Amino acid sequence: MSTGHRILWMNGILHMDISPSNFMVYKNANNEWIGVLNDYDLSSTEQDSPSGNKRRGTIPFMAIDLLEDEAIEGKVQPLYQHDAESLIWVLAWVCLRYEDGKLRRNRPLNGWLKADAKQCREKKTYFLLVERRKAQPSPSHKAVWDVAQSCLVHVCSLYLAHRKPTLEDEYVYSTWLEADVKPRLED
């Protein structure tokens, strides 16, 4: 992937802590919802080598690859794909836990909040392979849940293929998000 493409897509920044608490939304003058990603404390503009034991996110929303021992030890290079996967986990989280902007009474995925990285990885894996199919989104998120499901299937296919993301995969991943996912969310 060329650096130029990443700069166009993400302005050359890896956020590395995509979670619901780092999003804000508002309506503009045209009555359109605008989402803003904030809190860049853990962000990086470098794509060099891993940076030691630097924390890379909020555990329940981190990419599965970043929940492995090697990543926790700082031996995995953070990639655009990890941020994109975190966004997918946030999308699923919101669809399953919120109704019209408020927490639902019966909230799945609570175990992710209390789990350490290894436990959360196991819970997310089980969710991808088993629970995802029977998960019930809130009525206000049913349409978005279809998009989230499509994204989770993609994450699951990479996980089942035992493929670790590489810098070369980033172009493919960002192109998939831009071409397939973005138009479905705009409908």
In this prediction, residue 12 carries a pLDDT of 67
CATH topology of domain 3-186: Transferase(Phosphotransferase); domain 1 (1.10.510)
Parts of the chain with a pLDDT under 50: 1-9, 48-50
This prediction has a pTM of 0.79
Q: Distance between CA 50 and CA 78 in Å, rounded?
A: 7
How many separate helices (H) and strands (E) can be counted in the chain?
Answer: 9, 4
- The residue assigned the tokens 């995802």 is 132
- The residue assigned the tokens 């975190």 is 86
Residue ranges per structural domain of the chain = 3-186
In this prediction, residue 49 carries a pLDDT of 44
What token pair was written down for 119? 């436990």
In this prediction, residue 179 carries a pLDDT of 65
From the list 71, 77, 66, 57, the residue with the least C-alpha distance to 17 is 57
In this prediction, residue 168 carries a pLDDT of 55
In this prediction, residue 111 carries a pLDDT of 94
How many CA atoms, within 13 angstroms, populate the side-chain half-sphere of residue 127? 22
Give the helix/strand (H/E) hosting 6. Answer: helix 3-10
Residue 40 near residue 107, CB atoms below 8 Å: no
DSSP secondary structure code for residue 73 in this structure: T
3-state secondary structure of 99: strand
